[in-house]
Amino acid sequence: MAHMDVAQFKRELYQCKGTVYDLDGTLVRGRVAEGVGKRFLKRELTRIFTDWHNKGYHARNVKLGATNYSRVNRAAKEKGDPEGLRLFLEILGQARCADQESAYGFAHDYVQERALPGAHDFVRFIKYGMRTRRESHPSLVSTLGSDIAVEVAMRYFGLDNGIAAVRVAYNDGFISGGEVEARNGEEMAHKTEKVLQRYGLSLNACLVVGNDINDHPMMSAARLTAASPLADEVTKAAAHIWIRDYETFLEELRKSEVVS
């Protein structure tokens, strides 16, 4: 793929009618689901020493999480991230310690703490800062993660819609498991296209920002592509441009003249 300089990218950006962002590794460092899991594990570990009446229950949950950590990673590696996430949610359901309110709270804390520098301002600029040339510019997040992560990311980054690979299930306010709705990047691209249709758009009218091979099906269908600061080498090579860091890139976008 021919790489662009900032001015060329900005020219093409004016022709895009929407933007689709991956989440893990694109807007935030690491994986939201893993961060949430560690927070639940830490809370249960703390409760062993503070909730004496239920010490055995909390110790059981810690053991359940610790002993299944490698199993979850193996499932993600062998069957894909959504299947690993589904298994993780199933284990949380067995522990029955992951309440819905805490799950959203932990996810919000993780996104807020691990958002890449400048990512929030970059998203806002793409959505609002270039409207002198466009009437509207829907911005979406599309991730192989959960709907919890998607909803939190939408609120934090000010996105219009979101697509998740795994839908979380609840029982009496506690996480009980998860349903896989997309198993790989190809299926996520298909789901994303269906959501974009609600805006009268398709991927071939959008900018797609991603970081790894799971994002390539969306990127290959997009009008314009960018690799995130944490992108792997294959994705950097496949994208029209690599964003070394959002803060610097945003300043360059603001200052650059659009080439004809």
Beta pairing, strands 174-180 & 161-171: antiparallel
Distance, in Å, from the CA atom of 98 to the CA atom of 168, rounded to the nearest integer, reads 11
Q: Do the beta carbons of residue 179 and residue 162 sit within 8 Å?
A: no
Q: Which amino acid is at 131?
A: R
Global pTM reads: 0.93
Q: Do the beta carbons of residue 167 and residue 147 sit within 8 Å?
A: yes
> What DSSP character marks residue 181?
S
Task: Please give the class, per CATH, of domain 6-255.
Answer: alpha beta
Return per-residue pLDDT of the chain as tens, 260 residues: 558 999 999 999 999 999 999 999 999 999 999 999 999 889 988 888 888 888 888 788 778 878 888 898 898 889 999 999 999 999 999 988 899 999 999 999 999 999 999 999 999 999 987 655 556 689 999 999 999 999 999 999 999 999 999 999 999 999 999 999 999 999 999 999 999 999 999 999 999 999 999 999 999 999 999 999 999 999 999 999 999 999 999 999 998 865 55
For residues 164, 169, 174, 176, the Cα torsion angle rounded to the nearest 10 degrees is -120
Q: How far is CA 16 from CA 137, 185, 240, in A?
A: 8, 22, 14
Domains of the chain, residue spans: 6-255
Helix (H, G, I), strand (E, B) or coil at 179: strand
pLDDT, residue 256, reads 81
pLDDT, residue 1, reads 57
Q: Alpha helices of 21-146 — where are they, by DSSP H?
A: 32-50, 55-79, 81-95, 100-114, 119-124
Q: At what angle do helices 32-50 and 81-95 cross, to 10 degrees?
A: 20
pLDDT, residue 56, reads 86
Q: Do the beta carbons of residue 246 and residue 157 sit within 8 Å?
A: no
Q: Do the beta carbons of residue 48 and residue 55 sit within 8 Å?
A: yes
Distance, in Å, from the CA atom of 256 to the CA atom of 14, rounded to the nearest integer, reads 13
> What DSSP character marks residue 136?
-
